[in-house]
Structure 1
Amino acid sequence: MASSNKPEKPIHILFVGAGAVGCFYASRLHHVGTEHPLLSLKPRSNYKAIADAGNVQLQTHSFGNYAFAPYAVFPNIDAAVPSASSSSPTAAAAATPPSEGWDYIIVTTKALPDRTDDTATIAPLVSAKSCLVLIQNGVGVEEPYRKRFPHNPIVSAVTVISAEQIRHGVIRQNRWTRISLGPYGHGLSTTTPSSDDQVTRLSDERMRSLAQWWTELGGIRDVESHTELELQTIRWHKLCINAAFNPTAVLSGGRGNADQLTDAELRIHVLGIMNEIRDAAPLVLGAPFPDTLASPEKIVKSTERNTGGRPSMLLDWEAGRPMEIEVILGNPVRIARARGVEMPRLQSLYALLGSMQRMREERGKGKL
């Protein structure tokens, strides 16, 4: 936000799930020499490294190398809950939540609704003024938050970035910085209230402030603000990439995105999934994909050049972690089916990956 428009009180922003993506975008909101906004982190496995060092080391293709010192670092959710006795932290590694509550809570954790209820996890952090920002993969991720927090502004976000945590507290950004933002009012059902209702208006206002900070303070040139419908369209378009390459990487025996395309049958398979989503999404959303969004053929051509890339679902499978099956496969199948649209390719992937995960877990528990 431009200096002439700074609020009297500092803006407190908490990133929940501060991995590679969270730390990168947090670091681009942090601006040395200004008191607005104040960035805090609730990391996971990297908490000790960040707390001990008092900063996160960034190695970036877009902005060079630098250190980001968060305003506060919290070991768990309970430690980040504001209370009347809280005082503002005075050092980078101090862990005292703001007594006035969090203005923005930005969630960058993996979306695993079959394993955890993230809305219940963050509920103690949320006050009447809190804006929830969801930088998560898949579709249908917002609705549980809207049900639990019916009056809070919600911003939905889709990012295109290649970033990784090469070791705890050290983040490397390889390519891209794009983040697309959109308000989330009440979803896109036929009972959606008018776009000028209060929660939608407030969500839009908070989205625009956030976009302005990332642009003016963070120097990210490709921050995009959208309407709710536009952002949901972008979510379904990104699904063309995630739902095609991620499950195929696991089911093909560990082939990366570009490598999949060197196999003639896998290439047909990947394009088939993308076209199935591209055909179904307009029927779900009630609006066609705009020509500005890349076609499956263009996505494939671009992917061919990104050799060596290994999608997150494959990394999770190889590490024995739960995969984001529900938001990338299950939700789109269910959402489309509720509107009378079948997605047989996605349904097959959903059934197979879900079974693979369940069978491995049951074997690990000695049930098979």
Structure 2
Amino acid sequence: MASLDDLKPGVDPDRPVHIVFVGAGAVGCFYASRLHHPTHNIHVSLTARSNYKALTENGVRLQTHTFGDYTFRPDHVFPSVTAAAAGSRQWDYIIVTTKALPDRSDDSALIAPLVGPNSCIVLIQNGVGVEQPYRARFPTNPIVSAVTIISAEQTSPGTIRQNRWTRIHLGPYSNSASFSSPSSNTPAYPRGDDTTGALLPTGASASASTASSQPAASSNPTDNDDDEHSPTAILQRTGAHRAALLSDWWTRLGQIRDVDLAADEIALQTVRWHKLCINAAFNPSAVLSGGRGNADMVRDAELRAHLAGVMREIWAAAPRILGREFPGYMAGPEKILKSTERNVGSKPSMLLDWEGGRPMEVEVILGNPVRIARARGVEMPRLQTVYALVRSLQEVREGKKAREKGKL
């Protein structure tokens, strides 16, 4: 019986492949539905919270622009990670599609009960630096980093509408997005009660002290590249293999036509930084401008100049951080601004979270890129200013809510 690591893309497994999605929102449910193929021995399960009852009773009802309407019935639906970890099943892939809020919780600790020695961790999340807590806690497990461009929403518990796009980029991760300097392996996530500017997120201190005793990957992904037995080379090789299997299953079996398998680790991080050009400019600016939508902002001369300044700063910094220029086919700041003029009525996710009173992805979209750049000797003053203002805005509102709650 072949092991998962012996499989080649295009060859169906002759043993069960067990995949669990942590996060049963719109993105997670859509990609899970295109990966579940029991007739090919690929079995996908979900962990769910608010929509657990609907998913167990009716499965996932999908209304899609690309594949029509259908119902996805997962192998199992679990009410928690603890429930998914119970029993003897070994998870080959743990795919995380939750919102990335490292200043609130350490999601690497959340999935720890699911991770075995042969598990691959897949992160379909916004921002940059999302991989680092997982690498610190699981130094020898392969990690696949994924960037998606999809328009999907959960219109009611268990009902998912996919409006446009299905593109997903996949690539291996060893340690290229570390935001520690070469002399430090401790990432910093400032919090509202942080007076030093270097506190870890809740639970992260345990990550540093309880991580596996196996040797961690080099803090520099290019270290020992010529040594195929180095920790970095092994992580890149195993991560690339696992990414290739996922790409094949989503493409050949799931019929998603725009699955992009990155040539290498830096190619995938380049995609993350390109998406950041858009997210780090439009998301916080929509909040700071008082709730203006994307098209509305680019039609205002001063706001357009501000957006262009943030994007150009990232566009110039990313090659210095990654050691590689953006490919010519990727849209630059001016083209992005021009295309956004037609995006009437669109509100970025950070604004929707702000209006809904939910935590915003401040750290992975703003704080992490500033820290990663600074660790490499690159300053981004525009982005740092935006980060400081949005972070403060959120802290002030949460402090006010806490005081009002205390008076009740």
Residue 3 (structure 1) shift: 10
- 1:194 is the counterpart of 2:198: no
Whole-Å separation in 2 of the counterparts to 1:51 and 1:63: 23
Q: 1:289 aligns with which of 309, 321, 326?
A: 326
Of 152, 156, 169, the match for 2:145: 156
For these two proteins, the number of residue pairs brought into alignment is: 351
Residue of structure 1 in register with 2:34 after alignment: 28
**Which residue identity lines up with residue 60 of structure 2 in the other structure?**
V
Cα drift, residue 49 of structure 1: 1.6
- Residue number among 25, 46, 50 corresponding to 1:45 in the alignment: 50
Output the TM-score relative to the length of structure 2: 0.83
Q: How far does residue 152 in structure 1 lie from its aligned partner after superposition?
A: 0.6
Specify the alignment match of 2:184 in structure 1: none
Mapped to 1, the partners of 2:10 and 2:260 lie a distance apart of 23
SS in 2 for 1:293: coil
Instruction: Tell me how far 1:258 sits from its aligned partner.
Output: 1.7
Residue 165 of structure 2 corresponds to residue 176 of structure 1: yes
Q: 1:57-91 CA deviation, whole Å, 9 max, x = no partner?
A: 1111111111111111000111000433xxxxxxx
Cα 1:256–1:192 shift into 2, 3 Å: farther
State the identity as a percent.
Answer: 64
Select 1:59's aligned residue among 60, 63, 86: 63
Alpha-carbon distance in structure 2 between the residues aligned to 1:214 and 1:45: 27
Q: CA RMSD in A?
A: 1.8
1:182 to 1:126, Cα distance in 2 relative to 1, 3 A: same
Q: Give yes or no for contact 1:16–1:105 (8 Å, CA) kept in 2.
A: yes
Return the letter of the residue paired with 1:38.
H
Structure 1: 5+ residue stretches without partners: 85-98
Q: Quick check: 1:329–1:350 contact (8 Å CA) kept in 2? A: yes
Partner Cα distance (1:345, 1:43) in 2: 38
Secondary structure (helix, strand or coil) at the match of 1:158 reads strand
Distance (whole Å) between structure 1 residues aligned to residue 287 and residue 52 of structure 2: 29
2:47 is aligned with 1:10: no
Structure 1 letter corresponding to 2:113 = P
User: How far, CA to CA, are the matches of 2:18 and 2:350 in structure 1?
Assistant: 32
Shift of the alpha carbon at 1:266?
1.0
Distance 1:355 1:65 in 2: 43
Q: Distance in 2 between matches of 1:128 and 1:119?
A: 15
Q: Could you tell me how far apart the structure 2 residues matched to 1:115 and 1:83 are?
A: 29
Larger mean Cα displacement after TM superposition, 106-115 or 303-312: 303-312
Q: Counterparts of 1:107 and 1:79 in 2: how far apart (Å)?
A: 16
Distance 1:151 1:106, change over 3 A: same
Match of 1:57, SS state, is strand
Write out per-residue CA displacement over residues 199-244 of structure 1, whole angstroms, 9 at most, x where no aligned residue.
Answer: 2211111000000000011111110111100000110010001001
- What amino acid sits opposite 1:359 in the alignment? V
Q: Measure how far apart 1:25 and its partner are.
A: 0.6
- SS of 2:358 mapped into structure 1: coil
Counterpart in 2 of 1:19? 25
Q: Aligned with 2:19: secondary structure?
A: strand
Equivalent residues of 2:174, 2:236 under 8 A apart:
yes
1:351 match: secondary structure: helix
1:2 shift after superposition: 9.1
Match for residue 272 of structure 2 among 231, 235, 246: 235
- The answer as to 2:363 corresponding to 1:320 is no
Calculate the TM-score normalised by the size of structure 1: 0.91
Corresponding residue number in structure 1 for 2:135: 146
Secondary structure class of the residue paired with 1:365 = helix
Tell me if 1:122 matches 2:158.
no
Secondary structure, counterpart of 2:155 in structure 1:
strand
Q: Distance in 1 between matches of 2:254 and 2:340?
A: 28
Alpha-carbon shift at residue 23 of structure 1 (Å): 0.6
2:94 — aligned with what?
Answer: 105
Q: Which residue of 1 aligns with 2:256?
A: 220
Unaligned runs of 5+ in 2: 1-6, 178-218
Q: Which 10-residue stretch deviates more, 207-216 or 169-178?
A: 169-178
Secondary structure in 1 matching 2:108: helix
**Aligned residue runs from structure 1 range 246-285, under 5 A:** 246-285=283-322
Residues 1:222 and 1:186: Cα distance change in structure 2 (over 3 Å):
same
User: Cα deviations across residues 269-324 of structure 1 (Å, max 9, x unaligned)?
Assistant: 11111111001111111111111111111112222222222111111111111100
From 337, 343, 348, the equivalent of 1:300 is 337
- Counterparts of 2:245 and 2:224 in 1: how far apart (Å)? 23
Residue 366 of structure 1 aligns to a residue whose secondary structure is helix
- One-letter amino acid of the structure 1 residue matched with residue 166 of structure 2: T
Question: What amino acid is the match of 1:83?
Answer: G
| 2:209 equivalent to 1:203 | no
1:61-76 matches, within 5 Å, as 61-76=65-80
Given that 2:61 and 2:159 are in contact with CA atoms closer than 8 Å, whether structure 1 keeps it comes out as yes
Measured in 1, the distance between the counterparts of 2:273 and 2:360 equals 19
For the 8 Å contact 1:105–1:132, the answer to whether it is kept is yes
Q: Is the 8 A contact 1:29 1:217 kept in 2?
A: yes
